[in-house]
Structure 1
Amino acid sequence: MKYFLFLNHPKGKDVYQLTKKREFLLREHFKHIKTLSMNLNINGQNYNCIIDYTAFSNLSNFDCFNCQDPCCADNPTIYNSNTRDFILDNLVLYNSLTKNIDILQENGYSFDDILNSIQNDNSMVPEKTVEEEISLCTCSFKPNNKSTLCALHSMCLEKKLSSEDIIRIKPLVCNLWPLEIIAEDDMSLLYITLPDDFTTGFTIEDYYDTPCINKELVSSATFRRKNPEGFSEKNYVPFIVAYKETLIKIFGNKFFNSIKNLLISEELIFESDFDDIKEQIFKKL
């Protein structure tokens, strides 16, 4: 089995291939839960999917502006032309956030070298600078000394682009994080879920170390020692609420409404949960 969202990771199978133990845990989990089956079009391809729909009621608080964990720790994908063209069209803004052009020039690269790298290199910077001189993800930036944010997303918001444009420009894995999609080796079936107490044994993300989807973690003294600000418990909302626009734009209205209606019918969420919520995709400093 494979982590579907990481199939284009620069490190290949070392990242996207599940171990046999994780595969076993996934299959056991999906045997014992309520699921929703649906055919989804993802990036122009149709897939049969089994959805762990109750996971979409899990509480989340994506307080990126107060988070000290560098979620953007590496380049999660080989970037496509949408991302590359957007950066090339907005080099000044891109460099003002990431400092990547300045860093590469300080290290002896010409401007033409840098443009060529954005156009052709897997991570849009010369390979030997990846996670070295260019630390973390190529597209990450630090607005202050504590948080790490996505330059692509911030640039889109600065330019007042639509949610469709944000989703087109950012890699799919980044748009959907921390949603997990695991595929059969032959791609005949996708399993969709979120990291939580029940799934963390096979998800690529560690639920117990991820405060934005683990409300219990943020109430611990250990977490608060490192993170005295942010992650207010009252700001946790169901994942389907926080990611409404993203889920609709990527998977469609049928996907969103089917899950929403099931969750409401089982009283796992309520219609009022969607009142007066600023969705994650539109949040900015």
Structure 2
Amino acid sequence: MTAGLLPPLLLWPTGLPEVSLLYALTLALLVAFWLGRVAREARRGRVPRVGWWFVPGLLTLLLARVGDLPALFGIGAGLLLLAEYWPGAYGRPRRRPRLAWPLSGLLLALGLLTSSLLAGQANLPTVLATLLSLLAGLAGLLAAALSPAPARREKAQGFALRWQQPQLPEWPEFSVTLTGQGARLTNTSPQPLKVVGWSPRSVNAWLPPRNEEGRLLDLLGSGQSAFLPLSERETGVRVWYVTPQKPEQTRLFRADWVPSTPQTATPAHLLN
């Protein structure tokens, strides 16, 4: 089937006898609405997922008019509704979208348009391929250009803080509760605290904090706890940590206690 060239975004008469100017403008308004939605979601850090079904839905609506097939119109309308109202239509990507493939789609659309202009005509598959490349390229370009830049991560704070001169708070920001297999370190301050390392009193160690399941912990919110495995003869712990307000200033928490003996069934512990 031979047809005239379909201009970008259907803003002018298509040259397809079956497609009226009013129908083309209606499709163009749908395209503008969808691209606006893609731009809004991109500013929120989300990209199309099921939302990509808008592109085949729009092409199906065009085919329904060209081929005079009402069933295709229903399918196309269903795809548009799916792309707009599906709960997972847009989602956060694992990494920021890149410009490579959207630019490739736009270049492909430009090449198809150029070849059609030189030939003076375009068949229906060329028109559909041009629209597909153009819409996908524009949407991908908006998603990549408008997505917020990833937040800068703070520099890793680890073993180097062990050798800085620590600050001893006037009032302890942790509490220690002895258990049968170690100690439970609890954040008693009203703010989150970043525990960078700890050590039993009897050795010069540098151990990462973990929970009772053995998973590494980085930040302890107010009221949250970490598990410190200790032997029964241990007499204390040392904990190095920083606050969100002063991540460069190391703080030290110390807790000492008297181990359990036959005369003292319950170990007494002294904070700081």
Superposition TM-score tier, normalisation by shorter sequence: under 0.3
Structure with greater proportional helix content: 1
TM-score (norm 2): 0.19
Structure with greater proportional strand content: 2
Q: Which has the higher contact order (CA 8 A, sep 6+)?
A: 1
Q: Which protein has the larger Cα radius of gyration, Structure 1 or Structure 2?
A: 2
